[in-house]
Chains A and B, each alone.
Chain A
Amino acid sequence: MTYRDAVARGIAQEMERDPSVVFLGEDIGAAGGVFKATVGLLDLFGKDRVVDTPISEQAILGAAMGAAMTGLRPIAEVMFSDFFAVCWDIVANEIAKTRYMTNGQVALPLVIRSANGGGSRFGAQHSQSVENWAMAVPGLKVVAPSTPADVVGLLAAAVRDPDPVVFFEQKSLYPTKGEVPDGEIVDELGTAAVRREGEAATVVALAAMVPRALRAAEELSAEGVEVTVIDLRSLVPLDMTTVSASVKATGHLVTVEENPRLCGWGAEVASIVADELLFDLDGPIVRVTTPHVPLPASDALEDAAMPTVERIKEGVRRSLG
């Protein structure tokens, strides 16, 4: 099953199970989504529960919030994660803060899905990886799956979670395929997955950087260097238990981040490791990131900007010294 089809399957699984789950966004219903990730849901669940909206991101997320505080469990789509910038008030000031400001009176069980990240040659306003924006806001949970099975399981977990979850789908992963077991799948937020084990170093990656890190690991293996690759899967909650256990064993940490460098999620992981595991480290913590630039459109330039297999390998070598 493709990552794209897993999105529709995950949403359908939850809408089938719970009649309070509703889904809204631009072009999600009749058109099946601009990435065709939500094909068939309108036919399955009808226009009361699968709602095509105007191009009004504030109205979409506000409606999701108001519905969540009065008994529904909405899934809202923000077509491209760059568009969070036009509705960030609703995300960061309203949805994220309301439980706290009301002393726990208001629950907001909602999911905001968004197509995130580069690799599609769309240019700077449709390509940025903004998971670190969401991570910086207290009150949000932040998820970014890398495999079709994780899309289904983590989406289900997000819908069932009592807190607001921002769910980043990496758009270059939509056509990728993976095994997805039959039947209901429900995963757990805040749990990283060890995708590969090796004793030389710990490579921590997220979303589209996971398959890239795994390729780098295979190439390093051919050189006799075996690394662990951890798929973080969610940024909030952040599974430092899994990361720290691995770093303790390997003594080396390399993060692979698609977000621009400054205040990327790897900086937080690195600072925790530096604070808590400094004397377990046998080399510098290395962050492999997109440089601090908007993403360019040209394939040659975009490929040069995003972390490559070669840069990941160099990062590991630098940490190993």
Chain B
Amino acid sequence: MTGPTTERGATTTDAGAQAQGSAAQGGSPPPAPDGAASLTTRLAVYRMMVEMREFESRAYDLFLQGLVKGTSHLGLGQEAVAAGFGAAMQPTDYTFATYRGHNHTLARGVPMAPVMAELMGRAGGLMAGKGGSMHLTSVAHRMMGSYAIVGAHLTIANGAAWSAKLRGSGEVAVCFFGDGTTNIGAFHEALNFAVVWRLPVVFVCENNRWMEYTPIGSVTAVTHPAADRAAAYGLEAILVDGNDADATYAVALRTLGRARTGGGPSLVEAETYRHGGHSRADPGKYRPDAEVQAWLARDPLPRLRARLVEAGVAEGPLAEIERAASEAVDAATRDAIASPAPDPASVERDVFADGGSSWRR
């Protein structure tokens, strides 16, 4: 198999497939005939991205103020991947994300306030302070967890997809992970398994070029860490501009549709960039300035905004989306700060299904 070809938006070795990306069934807004999203959907994607940007910027500020403790890994700059997929997923589909999972959590409609409170370790947090930034989970929203051991959750997403298949539910599992994951064993075990069992799962590699402090290209045998590995599992090599929300939405619709209609798994590599460092207050100074500037110029938010204006959306509604997002983050921050610390007695709760942690009789 040759390497992935390039065209505008989602690029694949199967150029024709992109235009047919409308196989998803059910509640998503119907895509326009050329496979592009409707204006309503694009505005919804833009709103999600603005909310993510505002939320993550605030999380960074709160970390510097000492209110967000421990660690947090921000998705600033990578919003178009989570939002594009979030808009294309059905409410019953499953999300599995990594420790850089705030965006993916918000993309499933999880309210901001409990997410912010979880980052601060408060009683009102999404997991009442038990999980923290790296483990955001909201089963009610089918956000099935953020996993902080690289690679593990690809195998777990398979299990949800297997269950969906056995139950004939039509649900699809979407599993997001970083470029560094492509070099760990679980990635390869999971891909083989998913293909052999023809599971309804979409693996989405967010290639932001840097693992933690080391560039992925310097330690990987192939140029495209996920797409170039697809052939090893008989999968189509799918490379998408991860900073182009229209492209991520289109590839999401197509791969979700394939999974939902029995076509089996997909492996998508979305090329993107994190605007900040790996975690905490890391300024990311190890990255060449020219590279950072080039990627900042490809910021997914102004890109989509300009296209919406081009498509005839007036300034007013866009400004309103931005104002509302800022207000929502302010409100979530206030709620989170007002939330008390968790009850210390909760330390010994919920290890086992009986609600406790007792290991002896």
Q: Is the CB of A103 within 8 A of B186?
A: no
Q: Does B193 contact A (CB under 8 A)?
A: yes
- Asked whether, in the complex, the Cβ of A63 is within 8 Å of the Cβ of B352, the reply is no
Instruction: Report A-chain residues with C-beta under 8 Å of the C-beta of B173.
Output: 66
Of A104-112, A146-154, A216-224, A249-257, the one contacting chain B is A104-112
Assess the A241–B361 pair: CB atoms within 8 A.
yes
A71 contacts partner chain B, Cβ-Cβ < 8 Å: yes
A28-40 vs B, Cβ < 8 Å mask (1 yes, 0 no): 0000000000000
Contact between chains at A63 and B130 (CB < 8 Å): no
Query: Are A89's CB and B149's CB within 8 A?
Result: yes
Pairwise interchain contact B127-A59, C-beta atoms closer than 8 A: no
CB closest chain-B residue, reference A90: B152
In the complex, chain B residues whose CB is within 8 Å of the CB of A94: 147, 149, 152-153, 156
- The answer on a CB contact under 8 Å between A99 and B353 is yes
A27 to B145, CA, bound (A): 31
Residue of B nearest to A139 (CB): B351
Q: Is the CB of B355 within 8 A of A63?
A: no
Evaluate contact between B186 and A22: CB separation under 8 angstroms. Answer: no
- With A71-B163, A138-B351 already in contact, the answer to whether A103 and B193 are too (CB < 8 A) is no
Interchain CB contact under 8 A, A58 and B185: yes
Tell me if A62 and B352 are in contact (CB < 8 A). no
In the assembled complex, B192 has its CB within 8 A of some CB on chain A? yes
Whether A67 sits at the interface, judged by CB under 8 Å, is: yes
Q: What 1/0 mask marks residues of chain A from 72 to 111 whose CB sits below 8 Å from any chain B CB?
A: 1010000000000000011001100011111111110000
Residue of B whose beta carbon sits closest to that of A239 = B361
A102-150 at interface with B (beta carbon < 8 Å)? 102-107, 138-139, 141
Docked Cα-Cα span, A284 to B18, in Å, equals 75
Interface code B150-180, partner A: CB below 8 Å = 1, 0 otherwise?
A: 0111111111111110110001010000000
Q: B151 contacts which chain A residues (CB < 8 A)?
A: 58
A140 nearest CB across to chain B (Å):
9
Q: How far is the CA of A48 from the CA of B352 in the complex (A)?
A: 30
Name 17 A/B residue pairs within 8 A (Cβ), A-sorted. A22-B166, A62-B159, A63-B193, A66-B161, A66-B163, A67-B160, A89-B186, A103-B350, A104-B355, A138-B351, A138-B359, A139-B351, A161-B353, A162-B352, A236-B359, A238-B359, A241-B361
- The answer to whether B193 and A99 have CB atoms under 8 Å apart is no
Instruction: Kindly state whether residue B219 has any CB partner on chain A within 8 Å.
Output: no
Q: Mark B186-227, 1 if CB is under 8 A from A, else 0.
A: 100110110011000000000000000000000000000000
Q: Find chain B residues with CB under 8 A from A100 CB.
A: 130, 350-351
Residues of A contacting B153 in the complex (Cβ-Cβ under 8 angstroms): 62, 94
Flag if B160 contacts A59 (CB, 8 Å): no
Residues of the B chain whose Cβ atoms lie less than 8 Å from the Cβ of A58: 151-152, 155, 185-186, 189-190
Known: A99-B352, A236-B359. A106 touches B166 (CB 8 A): no
B255 at the interface (CB under 8 A from A): no
Q: What B residues does A272 contact at CB under 8 A?
A: 360
Task: Assess whether A63 is in contact with B158, with CB atoms less than 8 Å apart.
Answer: yes
Q: Does B6 contact A (CB under 8 A)?
A: no
Pairwise interchain contact A104-B357, C-beta atoms closer than 8 A: no
Q: Which one, B135-143, B241-249, B264-272, is touching chain A?
A: B135-143
List A contacts of B152 (CB < 8 A): 58, 62, 89-90, 93-94
Count, chain A residues at interface, CB 8 A = 51
A54 at the interface (CB under 8 A from B): yes
- Interfacial chain B residues near A240, Cβ < 8 Å: 360-361
Cβ-closest chain A residue relative to B128: A103
Residues of chain B within 8 A (CB-CB) of A69 are: 139, 144, 156, 159-160
Q: Any chain B CB within 8 A of the CB of A163? A: yes
Whether A238 contacts B361 in the complex (CB less than 8 A), given A59-B193, A66-B163, A70-B160, comes out as: yes
CA distance A107 to B171 in the complex (A): 19
A211 adjacent to chain B (CB < 8 Å): no
Query: A56 on the interface (CB 8 Å rule)?
Result: yes
From B167, which residue of chain A is reached at the shortest CB distance?
Answer: A71
Contacts of B190 in A (CB 8 A): 58-59, 62
Knowing A62-B186, A94-B147, A138-B351 are in contact, say whether A101-B157 is a contact too (CB < 8 A): no
Cβ contacts B343-361/A at 8 Å (1 or 0 each): 0000001111101011111
- The reply on A53 being an interface residue by CB < 8 A is yes
Segment 76-106 of B: residues with Cβ below 8 Å from A: 94
Assess the B137–A70 pair: CB atoms within 8 A.
no
14 new A-B contacts, CB < 8 A, other than A61-B155, A239-B361, are A58-B155, A59-B158, A59-B186, A63-B158, A65-B155, A66-B158, A66-B162, A69-B139, A90-B152, A103-B130, A104-B349, A163-B352, A238-B359, A238-B360
